């Protein structure tokens, strides 16, 4: 069985949803759907307003979103019975959202509000399938998708409960929600923004799917960020390791964690374009290509922290003390470089920065730089290749560089720069590494 995931744009209008139905009607698959594009953003805004106690503004935005769903239903469905079911469904989801405008608003209510987008899109899609005579079963993600106390997916729970759900209803086609899950307390939670890709991959791993297809609004992974650089091109083949590096370092087409579950069971991932389904797209699998340079990605919102200390000279245990602090504050480190007297590292989550800085002060002099980006060049830089670094740094010769990490893996060179230089860096690297002058 396949797992086929459609992102927000793919189900973003009634016509697109109908196209998705056409694409999957004859498949034997679990179809994972995101919320209609724009919905999660709007739900995030509603939650923000409620946190700020701006109840009237929140109510107004809920009303506007609700109206857009009633219009959506009128265009998606033609039979009176299906329309009535769908309008009732929309009304009940929005009255649930509205119920949170009355009382104290907490993070738990926020998560419940955020879940409504995927719950709506999957239910509406199934009503449309019913209308066109395609049999399917709705699998409630909240009954099998779960994260543990460390916010990691609970693979055992997911597999066991998904298997049970699959036997409850027999069909060639199953529809489920991406993104949403339950946490260790059984409360509604989610897999973070863009998390539907991760849902698809976790489901693929749980059922040992033949393949995982991720359908979006572009023809696969491009060699550079198409939002920033013109003339990017689609890459036909990527290894899991290359795809994971690109996703982690900013290629938005894939949720950063979504490669690993597929890789674990050697399940190929196909990235396809719903708007142009005949285009080849990208296949991600174990096998490594033989290119020197595969692609470039960039991740913003990076903070660099430098710890300088004479005590580091010839000492052991110094790095452990630093890592301990970051571990205690559950703050992952992205890039790290060391010299004999200083360590520089980057983080992308500043939630606990003040407390971390306070503790690091006991180890040495601390310097913080914000508003940085990591530019990541992915390719094959095995230890015996020559000249790759030269090509990268020649392309970047006019850009001030804050940190460089080379050799950590054979697939990645990471360069930390000020975000103001990001566009220039991506364009120069595109010209220098892919000969697109």
Residue choice 1, 3, 4, 7 for contact with ligand ASP (CB under 6 A): 7
Written as one string, the DSSP assignment of 198-252 is HHHHHHHHHHT-S-EEEEESSSS-BSS-TTT-SS--B-SEEEHHHHHHHHHTT-T
Taking the complex as a whole, how short is the minimal distance between the CB of residue 90 and ligand ADP, in angstroms?
A: 21
**Residue 12 or 364 having the CB closest to ligand ADP:** 12
C-alpha span between 302 and 379 (Å, rounded): 22
Which residues inside 289-348 make contact with ligand ADP, applying CB under 6 A?
297
Our finding on whether 215 is near ligand ASP (CB under 6 A) is: no
The distance from CA 279 to its chain's CA centroid, rounded to whole angstroms, is: 23
d(CA 236, CA 233): 9
Nearer to ligand ADP, 233 or 329 (CB): 233
What lies within 8 Å, CB to CB, of 139 at 6+ separation is 30, 162, 165, 166, 169, 174, 175, 176
User: What is the Cα–Cα distance from 344 to 90, expressed in whole angstroms?
Assistant: 51
The 80-109 site mask, x for binding ligand ASP (CB under 6 A), equals ------------------------------
Binding of residue 10 to ligand ASP (CB under 6 A):
no
Q: Which residue minimizes CB distance to Mg ion?
A: 194
168/352 Cα distance (integer angstroms): 45
Asked if 45 is part of the footprint of ligand ADP (rule: CB under 6 A), the reply reads no
Evaluate whether 86 touches 73 at the Cβ level (below 8 Å): yes
Does 12 participate in binding ligand ASP (rule CB under 6 A)?
A: no
In angstroms, what is the minimal distance from the CB of 218 to ligand ADP?
A: 4
Task: Please pick, from the candidates 23, 33, 35, 206, the single residue that binds ligand ASP as defined by CB under 6 A.
Answer: 35
Determine what percent of the chain falls in helix, strand and coil, rounding each to the nearest 5.
40, 25, 35
DSSP secondary structure code for residue 153 in this structure: B
Nearest-approach distance from CB 102 to ligand ADP, in angstroms: 32
Contact characters 153-192, ligand ASP, x per CB under 6 A: -------------------------xx-------------
- The residue within the footprint of ligand ADP, chosen from 253, 375, 426, 429 (CB under 6 A), is 253
Check residue 8 for interaction with ligand ASP (CB under 6 A): yes
Dihedrals phi, psi of 415, to nearest 5 degrees:
-130, 125
Chain-centre distance for alpha carbon 267: 19
Q: Give me the half-sphere count of Cα atoms (radius 13 Å) on the Cβ side of residue 390.
A: 3
Q: Which of 37, 344 has the CB closer to Mg ion?
A: 37
The answer to whether the CB of 190 falls within 8 A of the CB of 205 is: no
In the complex, minimum distance from the CB of residue 274 to ligand ADP, in angstroms, rounded to a whole number: 8
Which position among 1, 3, 4, 9 is part of the footprint of ligand ADP (CB under 6 A)? 9
- The verdict on 252 binding ligand ADP (CB under 6 A) reads yes
The site string for ligand ADP over 197-236 (x = CB under 6 A, - otherwise) reads: -------------------xxx--xx--xxx---------
Q: Does 153 bind ligand ADP (CB under 6 A)?
A: no
The sign of the torsion formed by the CA atoms of 408, 413, 418, 420 equals negative
The contact set with ligand ASP (CB under 6 A) reads: 7-8, 34-35, 40, 117, 178-179, 193-196
The contact set with ligand ADP (CB under 6 A) reads: 7-10, 34, 194, 216-218, 221-222, 225-227, 251-253, 297
């Amino acid at each position: 069985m396949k797992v086929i995931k459609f992102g927000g744009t793919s189900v973003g209008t009634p016509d697109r949803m109908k196209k998705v139905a056409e694409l999957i009607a004859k498949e034997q698959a679990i179809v994972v759907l995101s919320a209609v594009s724009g919905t999660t953003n709007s739900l995030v805004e509603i939650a923000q307003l409620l946190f700020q106690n701006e109840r009237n503004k929140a109510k107004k935005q809920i009303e506007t979103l609700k109206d857009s769903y009633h219009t959506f239903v009128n265009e998606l469905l033609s039979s009176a019975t299906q329309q009535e079911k769908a309008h009732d469904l929309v009304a009940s989801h929005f009255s649930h959202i509205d119920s949170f405008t009355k009382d104290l608003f907490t993070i738990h209510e926020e998560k419940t509000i955020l879940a409504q987008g995927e719950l709506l899109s999957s239910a509406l899609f199934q009503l449309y399938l019913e209308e066109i005579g395609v049999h399917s079963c709705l699998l409630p993600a909240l009954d099998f998708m779960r994260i543990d106390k460390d916010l990691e997916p609970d693979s055992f729970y997911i597999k066991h409960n998904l298997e049970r759900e699959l036997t409850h209803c027999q069909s060639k086609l199953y529809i489920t929600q991406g993104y949403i899950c339950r946490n260790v307390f059984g409360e509604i939670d989610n897999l973070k923004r863009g998390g539907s890709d991760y849902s698809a991959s976790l489901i693929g791993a749980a059922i040992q799917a033949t393949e995982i297809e991720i359908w979006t609004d572009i023809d696969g992974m491009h060699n550079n960020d198409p939002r920033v650089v013109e003339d990017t091109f689609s890459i036909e083949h990527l290894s899991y390791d290359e795809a994971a590096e690109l996703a982690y370092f900013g290629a938005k087409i894939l949720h950063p964690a979504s490669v690993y579950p597929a890789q674990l069971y050697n399940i190929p991932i196909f990235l396809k374009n719903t708007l142009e389904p005949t285009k080849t797209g990208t296949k991600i699998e174990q096998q490594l290509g033989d290119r020197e340079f595969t692609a470039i990605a960039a991740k913003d919102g990076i903070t660099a922290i430098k710890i300088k200390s004479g005590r580091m000279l010839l000492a052991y245990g110094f790095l452990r003390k630093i890592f301990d602090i970051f571990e205690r504050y559950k703050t992952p480190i992205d890039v790290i470089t060391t010299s004999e007297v200083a360590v520089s590292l980057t983080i992308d989550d500043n939630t606990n920065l003040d407390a971390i800085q306070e503790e690091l002060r006991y180890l040495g002099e601390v310097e913080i730089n914000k508003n940085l980006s990591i530019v990541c060049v992915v390719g094959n830089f095995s230890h015996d290749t020559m000249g790759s670094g030269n090509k990268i740094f020649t392309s970047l010769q006019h850009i001030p560089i804050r940190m460089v990490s080379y050799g950590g893996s054979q697939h990645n060179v990471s360069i930390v720069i000020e975000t103001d230089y990001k566009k220039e860096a991506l364009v120069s690297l595109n010209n220098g590494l892919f000969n697109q002058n």
